[in-house]
Amino acid sequence: MSKPVIVALDFADDFECIEFLSQFPKDTDLFVKIGLEMFCQFGYPFVRSLRNRGYKIFLDLKLHDIPNTVRRTCEMIAKWDVQMLTVHGSGGSEMIAAAKKGLEGSNTNLLAVTQLTSLGQSELSEELMIPQKSQDYVTHLAKLAFDNGADGVISSALEVPMIKEVTDESFLCVTPGIRPKTAQVGDQKCVATPKEARELGSDAIVVGRPITQSEDGFSAYKNICQEWNK
């Protein structure tokens, strides 16, 4: 099976989103990410409607709360038949283990966010006052996630080799912050091209605006898939 390009559906309304999806031929094996923007507006019925179309779903809610709340939330999401769910790794060992417990019996992969790809070394040290070097912080959180039952992490593609080294080759590294050479970087600080992500060992890439804001979203998607799967 080829590794997926996951399309981040960050749209202001569901009509715009469905219109975007209508460009894709029906037999496209589409893996989409529903994040906070769309989930806050349209909730579970929207997730269900995309699942009913046959899409694979990455529900990117980045849960970050006390273990009991996260476990109970995950118990509910476990019934939704989504393929991936995120929590923040910085929620700690108990919270990660509680999320995994909540997902028990489902096929949902639990992914822990290490360091947001919109944060660079200076934000980490100067704003968040985290004394470690970014790479050490990321590998520490990845190991914490691995040791507490997560199936993988969300990280920059640039960190994948180090993460696989401290965890396991099978530990999933799903990487946003992907920018083809000609695309605008925007608010992302840690970026890689699809080709770089593949060479660094990412298991899946997440791409939003370079596809969703392109004049021809389907062509942009196909070009990225081609570069990624070469």
Q: Does 206 bind ligand LLZGTKA7 (CB under 6 A)?
A: yes
Alpha carbon distance, N-terminus to C-terminus of the chain: 14
Q: Which of 3, 14, 56, 62 is catalytic?
A: 62
Q: Per the structure block, which two tokens stand in for 104? A: 């028990």
x-marked contacts with ligand LLZGTKA7 along 30-69 as a string, rule CB under 6 A: ---x-x----------------------------------
**Residues 114, 150 contacting (CB under 8 angstroms):** no
d(CA 59, CA 85): 5
Q: Of 41 and 68, which has the nearer Cβ to ligand LLZGTKA7?
A: 41
Alpha-carbon gap, residue 130 to 42, rounded angstroms: 35
- Characterize the bridge pairing of strands 84-88 and 56-63: parallel
Which phi and psi angles does 204 have, rounded to 5°?
A: -160, 150
Least Å distance, CB 154 to ligand LLZGTKA7, is: 5
Sequence-ordered list of residues with C-beta below 8 angstroms from that of 214, at least 6 positions apart, any chain: 220
**Catalytic annotation, pick one of 3, 56, 65, 164:** 65
The annotation status of 181 as a binding-site residue, yes or no, is no
CA 150/CA 92 separation, integer angstroms? 12
State yes or no: is 60 an active-site residue. yes
Using CB under 6 A, which of the segments 20-28, 38-46, 70-78, 200-208 binds ligand LLZGTKA7? 200-208
Residue number with CB closer to ligand LLZGTKA7 (7 or 95): 7
Q: How far is the CB of 220 from ligand LLZGTKA7 (least distance, A)?
A: 11
Q: Which of 208, 225, 227, 228 binds ligand LLZGTKA7 (CB under 6 A)?
A: 208
Separation CA 205–CA 226 (nearest Å): 13
Counts for the chain of helices (H) and strands (E), in that order = 10, 8
Contact string (CB under 6 A) for ligand LLZGTKA7, positions 167-196, x = contact: ---------xx----------x--------
Structure tokens at 91: 């929620």
Q: Where are the beta strands (DSSP E) in 64-177?
A: 84-88, 109-113, 152-154, 172-175
65 as an active site residue: the answer is yes
Q: Is 60 annotated as a binding residue?
A: yes
Which residues of the shown chain bind ligand LLZGTKA7 in the complex (CB under 6 A)? 8, 10, 33, 35, 113, 116-117, 154, 176-177, 188, 206-209
Residues with a known catalytic role: 60, 62, 65
